Amino acid sequence: MEEFSRPGIGGLFRISGAKKLHLGVSAALAVTSSFLALATPVIIYLALLQMLAPGFGQEQYGEIRRLGLFAVLAACGRYVLLFASLMASHVAAFDILYHLRSTLCAHLGTLPMGWFTARQTGAVKKILSEDVEELEQFIAHHIPDIVTGAAQPLIIVAFLFALDWRLALAALLPLPLAFVLQWRAFGSGKGAEYRAEYHNALEDMNGSIVEYIRGMPVVKIFNQTVESFTRMKAAALAYKYFIEKITLAMAPPWAMFVVVTSSGLLFILPFGLWLYFGGDISLPVLFLFLLLGSAYMAPVFKLAMMGGQLRHLLEGLKRVEAVLREPPVRETPDPRTPEGNSVEFRNVSFRYGQRRVISDLSFFLPEGTLTALVGPSGAGKSTVGRLLLRMWDAEEGEILIGGVNIRDMSTRDLMDRVAFVFQEGFVFSDTVRENIRMGKEDASEEDVLRAAEAARCLDFIRKLPKGLDTVIGEGGEVHLSGGEAQRLAMARIILKNAPIVVLDEATAFTDAENEAKIQDAFASIMQGKTVMVIAHRLSTITDANAILVIRDGRVEQRGTHAELAREEGLYAAMWRAHTAARDWRLQTEEKPC
């Protein structure tokens, strides 16, 4: 986005420049309105001149009435113009915010999926919602206010100097002190540090709140309260302590600033009375200085308020910029199309931060076969599946589909060829039909029903209040169980009909009944496809064409179930542990009556 080519206030004005006409009209109307705001005190000054002039009589009453009428018309015109100015700026602001949010969402869609796993949902939500929303304040309010706040004091001060330069200098005495105090409150290096800390604390609190809400079932099951959720409590307290700290630090200079900007009469009145009683100025001039001499500080006060808000807004804008500067998934300029649907890892290595997860991993999955990946927790099995989807790019080695490096494929082609079923089936806040149709947006009603039947979903869909039209997900009419959501995810994959399927422990959190139905759905998915199953329960993959045993990011064993069960090693040990757990029974001693 070109508006973010350079950060800071320049970026704000470049964003605003997308609606130059609206904002230009808004600024012109705001300046005209500020001129009319001066009409009332000037008319009072002119009326006093008439009333105090020698020979004041009936003829002057008509002139004063005309001046009063002008004052009323000027006041009405001022507010009409101010309303029109704000309307123009708000139309511009909402259009720009729509464009910015659309740009952000479109850019998020191009980022590698691993980018999202490394960030809290609350932090991303804050950027999309709160940080972008604060731009509305700048565009809709601050731009007209900046123009007015700059134009009105200049007009007033120029007018006052034209009347009496000595009293005008007295009126300006609070101004330098006000700027120093405002800088002490918001502009110092400490203020910048506070603003960054504020956004960090707010993002952390938002993230912990989302995490707490998602973990509510666990909290309820163990009869815990919010006090026991230490991460959320710590984040909320950190935010509270920060607000207290920044308030204590900024309150004294800010309070002094408010006092100084509100005390213009303390400088004007004594000096003005001295000049008046000395015969140097007239009473109308003194009255006009009393009305205008402190009035010019009102827009200065507003500018100072905007200065603090603007610095806060710029800190949020940095985070918007940081997202837009994140490099998208690298697209090859000359994409290649694989000849088939085999999958191969060649000497692949990958690390999360400083921790190496995959080390020199190599294997080959022939097209149309079922291969299972097993191993202890943390061995890197799920990472293998995610690397195939380019959630991250491997640091070393190659991942190939049909003999073509996935980096040399277009992202759309890769996503069309590979379907992924995660451990937890995710449903969107939409109808059941649209949740299934996400796999293929142009699918007909018959296609959706066939996919739902193949995934063994029709039994619970028929029980829903509106069938396929029932809204599910967060805030929906019905809440699906984990097994039902997983079968719905299966229907989505069946409808997509991708030639390569990755199943990441898809039955790990389901009950026996749902597991059997999901296994039936697996049979529909696997027909003629290249399937990689990341297995949790070894009994579900005994018929796999090949089993790869992963430990510490390497293939330690490979073979069929029968071969690996006979061979002494990690798989045989895991199989013995699995069968022992499967045959385990709870035993109780009979107590005599």
For residue 365, the domain's CATH number is: 3.40.50.300
Q: Which of 292, 325, 358 is the last residue of a domain?
A: 325
Q: Which of 325, 352, 370 is the last residue of a domain?
A: 325
In a domain, 592, yes or no: no
Are the C-beta atoms of residues 384 and 358 closer than 8 Å to each other? yes
* Ranges 167-181, 305-319, 403-417: which has the least confidence: 305-319
- Judgement on whether residues 403 and 321 belong to the same structural domain of the protein: no
Q: How far apart are CA 416 and CA 496, in angstroms?
A: 8
Average pLDDT, rounded, for the chain: 79
**Where is pLDDT greater, at 310 or 382?**
382
Indicate if the pLDDT at residue 201 is higher than 60.
yes
Q: Helix (H, G, I), strand (E, B), or coil: what is residue 458? A: helix
Q: Domain tally for the chain?
A: 2
In a domain, 464, yes or no: yes
Per-residue confidence band for 456, with pLDDT thresholds at 50, 70 and 90: confident
| 25-36 average pLDDT score | 85
Instruction: List strand residue ranges (DSSP E) for 402-515, in order.
Output: 404-405, 418-421, 430-431, 471-472, 500-504
Parent domain of 122: 2-325
- Judgement on whether residues 321 and 358 belong to the same structural domain of the protein: no
- Judgement on whether residues 47 and 175 belong to the same structural domain of the protein: yes
Indicate if the pLDDT at residue 5 is higher than 50.
no
Q: What is the predicted pLDDT for the residue at 288?
A: 83
- Judgement on whether residues 10 and 124 belong to the same structural domain of the protein: yes
- Judgement on whether residues 243 and 377 belong to the same structural domain of the protein: no
- Phi then psi for residue 511, to 5 deg, are -80, 175
- Judgement on whether residues 347 and 301 belong to the same structural domain of the protein: no
Q: Which of 291, 325, 359 is the last residue of a domain?
A: 325
In a domain, 336, yes or no: no
Q: What is the predicted pLDDT for the residue at 593?
A: 46
Q: What is the predicted pLDDT for the residue at 539?
A: 78
- Phi then psi for residue 140, to 5 deg, are -80, -30
Q: What is the predicted pLDDT for the residue at 587?
A: 57
In a domain, 94, yes or no: yes
- Judgement on whether residues 370 and 290 belong to the same structural domain of the protein: no
In a domain, 84, yes or no: yes
- Judgement on whether residues 276 and 397 belong to the same structural domain of the protein: no
**Where is pLDDT greater, at 168 or 191?**
168
Indicate if the pLDDT at residue 221 is higher than 70.
no
- Judgement on whether residues 483 and 448 belong to the same structural domain of the protein: yes
Indicate if the pLDDT at residue 8 is higher than 60.
no
- Note the pLDDT tens digit of each residue in 86-119: 898 888 888 888 888 888 888 887 887 767 766 6
CA 478 and chain centroid, separation: 27
In a domain, 330, yes or no: no
Indicate if the pLDDT at residue 15 is higher than 70.
no
Sheet holding 355-365, edge to edge: 355-365, 343-352, 396-401, 404-405
In a domain, 338, yes or no: no
Per-residue confidence band for 509, with pLDDT thresholds at 50, 70 and 90: very low
Q: Helix (H, G, I), strand (E, B), or coil: what is residue 388? A: helix
Residue 141: which CATH number? Answer: 1.20.1560.10
Q: What is the predicted pLDDT for the residue at 121?
A: 64
Are the C-beta atoms of residues 432 and 470 closer than 8 Å to each other? yes
- CB burial of 35-65 (b: ≥16 within 10 Å; e: otherwise) equals bbbbbbbbbbbbbbeeeeeeeeeeeeeeebe
- Judgement on whether residues 367 and 302 belong to the same structural domain of the protein: no
- Judgement on whether residues 198 and 316 belong to the same structural domain of the protein: yes
- Note the pLDDT tens digit of each residue in 370-422: 999 998 888 888 889 889 988 888 889 999 999 999 999 988 898 889 988 77
Q: How far apart are CA 105 and CA 114, in angstroms?
A: 16
Are the C-beta atoms of residues 136 and 94 closer than 8 Å to each other? yes
Indicate if the pLDDT at residue 18 is higher than 80.
no
- Judgement on whether residues 319 and 375 belong to the same structural domain of the protein: no
Per-residue confidence band for 281, with pLDDT thresholds at 50, 70 and 90: confident
**Where is pLDDT greater, at 367 or 518?**
367
In a domain, 331, yes or no: no
